[in-house]
Amino acid sequence: MYFGWRAKIGVITPANGTAMEMEFHQYAPDGVATMTQRILFEKVDREGLSALAERSVEAAKILASAKPDLLLFGCTTGSLINGLGYDQKLIKQIEEASGIPTITTSTALTAALRALDAKRLLISTPYSDSVNQAEKQFLEDSGFEVLDIQGLGYTDPNCMPRTTVTEMYPLTKRMLVPEADTVFISCTGINVMDGIQAMEKDFGRPVITSNQVSLWYALKTLGICETTAQGSLFRLL
């Protein structure tokens, strides 16, 4: 059968890992193809994330030649590092360069939080405190209350692919407080989607991840209301 006969998602992703590709291939429904363009990522700090985002525009021009139906800049902090509205600025630049409708992970995140009617968040990440504070500011400026955000302190992007649910689960569980209505595990570079269903049972509230919200919003944008993925968010497709 024709590759991507329902839709083709073009993913612009940091070069260091494979988590987004793996999880998209695993959970995308039949007929939805994922094509990727990798970009250099040197350090998980404001300078490195800003450079990554700038490279996404050139990457979009290359990926556009494969004729995807939708482009995704698949990096959470890379698409929010310069504050509220930065994701929309990147979307405009990528769309102008490629001629293809575009979303980013941070755009998907805020859409997912609103769909879940989330108000008070707990966020766990593999990032440093400075990057966490940028993410916290973006989400608070977007209208959400961040009760706590904690990370593993990594600034080397090669650490992200080695970060698994076995690290993120205990970090997240230690943060739980009754007031929080939603848990967000941030970073497209980590493989944690397989743990969402168990974490929702254990934590007693919706749990979302960067790759999960990216896939959910991509499918929603494409008008495809199906996936094999588990979790509260995907029940809203």
Domain CATH code at residue 122: 3.40.50.1860
pLDDT band at 3 (very low <50, low <70, confident <90, very high): confident
pLDDT category of residue 1 using cuts at 50, 70 and 90: low
Banded model confidence at residue 227, pLDDT cuts 50, 70, 90: confident
Query: Does the predicted model carry a pTM greater than 0.95?
Result: yes
User: What is the distance between the alpha carbons of residues 101 and 142, in angstroms, rounded to a whole number?
Assistant: 22
Whether residue 2 is predicted with pLDDT greater than 90 in this model: the reply is no
Whole-angstrom distance, CA of residue 105 vs CA of residue 86: 12
- Residues 187, 203 share a domain: yes
Which of the two residues, 1 and 75, has the higher pLDDT score? 75
| Predicted pLDDT at 94 | 98
Query: pLDDT (tens digit, 9 = 90+) per residue, 91-113?
Result: 999 999 999 999 999 999 999 99
CATH number at residue 60: 3.40.50.12500
Q: Is the dihedral of CA 82, 145, 188, 129 positive or negative?
A: positive
The verdict on 100 and 216 lying in the same domain is: yes
Count how many domains the chain has. Answer: 2
User: What residue numbers bound the domain in which 30 lies?
Assistant: 7-107+212-236
Report yes or no: 206 and 231 within 8 Å, Cβ to Cβ.
yes
pLDDT digit string, tens, across residues 106-149: 999 999 999 999 999 999 999 999 999 999 999 999 999 999 99
Q: From 3, 56, 59, 53, select the one nearest 30 (Cα to Cα).
A: 3
- Asked if residue 209 lies in contact with residue 193, where contact means CB atoms within 8 angstroms, the answer is yes
Mean pLDDT of the chain: 96
Nearest to 167 by CA among 151, 183, 182: 151
Are 173 and 225 in a shared domain?
Answer: no
